[in-house]
Each structure stands twice: as C-alpha cells, then as structure tokens.
A and B are shown apart, each in its own frame.
Chain A
Amino acid sequence: MIFFYKFPIMEDMRRRDYLSQLELMVLLAILRTRENAYGMSIVREIERHSEREVALAGIYAALERLEAKGLVRSERGDPTPERGGKARTYFEVTGAGLKALRFAHATFSRLSAGLTELTPVTV
C-alpha cells in the first residue's frame, strides 16, 4: 500500500481514476455541445472531429464510468414521439470533471511541447 501512496500516479491507476482517451473525448464533447449534450449529440461531435464512426454503446459505457467517478452528472429529459416515447438523458460535466480535464490537458500540453513528430505533415 505504501507503494501506492509513494507514487500517486500508481494510486490513480489502481483506482482507475485515469481517464481513457474515449473518456477525455466524451468530456470534451459534452463541453462543446453544452446544454444539448445527450448520447447522439456527443457521438456526432466526436465523429465530426475524429472523422471516424463511433459506437453509441461505447459512449454510454464511458458516460457510466464518468458518472461513477463523479466527473459527469445526468438528467432525464422528456420523452418524445420521434424517439418512440423514450426520453433523452442529458449530461453535464461536474466541477471534478473540469478539474480532471484541465489536469489532463495541461499534462498533454507539457508532454507534447516541442515534439516535432507531432507537427501536422502538409503534402
């Protein structure tokens, strides 16, 4: 146990507090879509920026993990006929979620600073 407290990064990994790439993308997509952040709008936002097809179930699995970590909170909307009477669930990033995003962003920025390999190649 001392090993984990000596190295906070290991403690984070043990508790699965580390954010995966998908979880980071989901948090950013929620922030970008603001008050209209529900499953499909998050998928569209990630697809638009990653130019890849995204599985909605994977997004919901990530959202469940983020909710369990307290980084995201959800609220049920009203059911609509277009959705076969099923309600939307809207998501919002919590204060802890913003803090985790800022930490991840700052770490990535510092790690990638000055790396020429990451400069986009123009043909």
Chain B
Amino acid sequence: MSSARPPRLASWMLRQLTAGPHAEALEGDLLEAWRRGRDNGWYWRQVLVAVAVNLLRLGRSQGPRLAMAIAASWAMMLAWFVFNNSLVEALPSYLRNHPHPYSHDSEFWITLFVAQALVRLLIFAVSGAVLVRIQRVHPIVASAALLMSASLWRFVPWKLVPVLDPPMHAILHYLTAIVGFVVGALLAANFWRRPTLSR
C-alpha cells in the first residue's frame, strides 16, 4: 500500500513549485492522506492551491529578488548581443583592411562560427546560472518569469538580434543559446541547493 504513488505530474509540481519551512511536511501530509483514501482529484486540487499560495508568497516576499535575478540574467544576454553584433559588423571591414591568410577558406569561417557558438553557449550558461544563483528558492518559477519577460522584447524599438539568414544559422543560434541557458541553470540549481527546503 505504501508504495502506491499519487499523480506524478502533481507530485513533481509540488516538489518544484513550492518552498517554505513546512514544504516537506506538506508533501508528506498530502501523500499520507492520499494513501489513506483521498482521491486523485482532491490531491490535484490541494497541489494547485499549494502552488498558487507559494506563487503569491513568492511575489510578496521574493518579488524584488526575482526582478533582480531577471535583470541580471538579461544584462548578461544583452551584453552578448551587443558584443556579438559589433563583432559581426566590424569583422568584414577589419578583414578588408587586415587580410588574414585563411580568410578566404571555408574552414576559417566554420572555425569562427563554432567559436562564436561556444562563446554564446558559455554566456547563456552564465546567464542561467546567475538567474538561479540570485533566485535559488524558486529556480523554475524564475526561469518561467524570464521566459515571459522575453515576450516584452517586441516592445524594444532597437532590436539587437538581427534576423539570421539562412534559417539553419538562426536555428543553431537560438539552440545554442537555449541549451547554454538550461545547462547553466541546471548546474547552478544542483550546486546551490534550494535553501529553505530540507530535502
């Protein structure tokens, strides 16, 4: 009987999206009640309320910290965009004035592309790590908030990300950025464990 498991997604949400001094007791209480006969619907309702309560609390107590985490993460990414754009703009004229012996080889450009992708991966990994380091109580909520804040991008008149052509470049560009961010955030979340949970 004690090996039975309540809805997995609900349990995962409970572990990831709630925090606080009694988070462990809450999780244990819900599991105990479910195993003593409360149904899945009840379990889901309790988990959704717990998540909502925690998000409200997060907004009240961690709001400035969350905003700071998002701002720091964006600052890292914007620094990359500015650096990358100025590099892309300056490189052709630089090579015209200072011809490189291999600048006509495709290998030269492939190496440059790979190096650029690696730097991008690294910068975004640091950006993810910074976000989680500052807002380590709720890393998933912070990442979701950062993702939502990206929707504000269309209101920025001075778009820093050029439309890349061909599409394969664009896919690689964004893919390395996303992979870098996720890897950085995961490593940071593992390194700096959630402080208020005694799991």
Interface residue ranges of A13-28 to B (CB < 8 Å):
none
User: Whole-angstrom distance between the alpha carbons of A40 and B46 in the complex?
Assistant: 12
Q: Provided the pairs A55-B46, A55-B49, A82-B2 are in contact, do residues A60 and B31 lie with their beta carbons within 8 angstroms?
A: no
Complex interface: chain A residues within 8 A of B42 (CB): 53
Does B121 count as interface, using CB distance less than 8 angstroms? Answer: no
Q: 1/0 contact trace for A76-93 toward B, CB 8 Å?
A: 100111111011110000
Tell me which residues across on chain A come within 8 A of B57, comparing CB atoms: 61
Contacts of B50 in A (CB 8 A): 55-57
Contact B20 A56 (CB under 8 A): no
Q: Which of B38-84 contact A (CB under 8 A)?
A: 42, 45-46, 49-50, 52-54, 57
Assembly CA distance A88 to B2 (angstroms):
16
Which residue from chain A places its CB closest to the CB of B30 in the assembled complex?
A56
B21, A88: Cβ atoms under 8 Å? no
Of the listed residues A53, A58, A61, A64, the one surrounded by the most CB atoms of chain B closer than 10 A to its CB is: A61
Q: State whether B25 touches A82 (Cβ < 8 A).
A: no
Q: Which residues of A contact B26 (CB under 8 A)?
A: 39, 56-57, 60
- Smallest CB gap from B24: residue in A: A86
CB < 8 Å: which of B2, B24, B31, B53 contacts A61? Answer: B53
Q: Decide: B22 and A83 in contact? CB cutoff 8 A.
A: no
Q: Which label, helix, strand, loop or mixed, suits the secondary structure of the B interface?
A: helix
Complex contacts, A64 vs chain B, CB 8 Å: 20-22
Shortest Cβ distance from B21 into A: residue? A64
A40 touches B33 (CB 8 A): yes
Residue of B20, B24, B32 near A82 (CB, 8 A) is: B32
A74 to B189, CA, bound (A): 29
B28 close to A87 (CB less than 8 A): yes
- Please tell me if the beta carbons of A57 and B2 are within 8 angstroms of each other in the complex: no
Candidate in A38, A53, A84, A88 with the most chain B CB atoms within 10 angstroms: A84
Judge if A63 is at the interface, Cβ distance under 8 Å. yes
Tell me if B143 counts as interface (CB < 8 A to partner A).
no
Contact B53 A83 (CB under 8 A): no
> Residue A58 contacts which of B25, B31, B33, B53 (CB distance < 8 angstroms)?
B53
A residues bordering B, Cβ < 8 Å? 38-40, 43, 53, 55-58, 60-61, 63-64, 74, 76, 79-84, 86-89
28 contacts between A and B (CB under 8 A): A38-B25, A38-B29, A39-B22, A40-B29, A43-B29, A53-B42, A55-B46, A56-B26, A56-B29, A57-B18, A57-B54, A60-B20, A60-B25, A60-B26, A64-B20, A74-B22, A80-B28, A80-B32, A82-B35, A83-B28, A83-B29, A86-B24, A86-B27, A86-B31, A87-B25, A88-B28, A88-B29, A89-B25
